[in-house]
Amino acid sequence: MAGRAGRLGFNEIGKAIILADTPVERAQLFHKYVLGRPEDVTSSFKQRDLPTWILRLLSQVRGVRAEDIPGLLVNTFGGYSASRANPQWMRQIEIDISALVTRLLQAGLAEHDGDLLHLTLLALYASGLR
């Protein structure tokens, strides 16, 4: 698995590290990943999982402006791919995220601190993130 080995539009070259437990495994991995044919790059982002992605994002930051969330998603590989495939994707994501944020606020799982949105302690404990 390689993650964040480069960032589309920012870095054209990335680094990947291969770890092996034995010399035999090291040789096998070298032949597969260095000398072999590169695997297609795929994203784990699926639009149906948008609530999970929003919770993951909010669990990793002190706060984020709700209107910045779509831009953060479009800067992921999955978001980049989706927006290239469908020019209307960003507008739909903005609508979906707005509805999700409203639901989180109404349920007491998120709150505003000034203009920043963050998860409440209830959300963090209920989700096992704390």
Q: pLDDT tens digits for the chain (130 residues)?
A: 455 555 555 666 667 788 899 999 999 999 998 899 877 777 777 778 888 888 888 888 889 999 999 888 877 878 888 888 888 988 999 999 999 999 999 999 999 999 999 999 888 887 766 6
Looking at residue 11, what is its pLDDT?
63
Closest C-alpha among 103, 34, 16 to residue 66: 103
pTM: 0.66
Looking at residue 102, what is its pLDDT?
95
CB burial of residue 78 (10 Å; 0-12, 13-18, 19+): middle
Looking at residue 18, what is its pLDDT?
82
- Name 13's Cβ contacts closer than 8 Å, sequence gap at least 6: 6
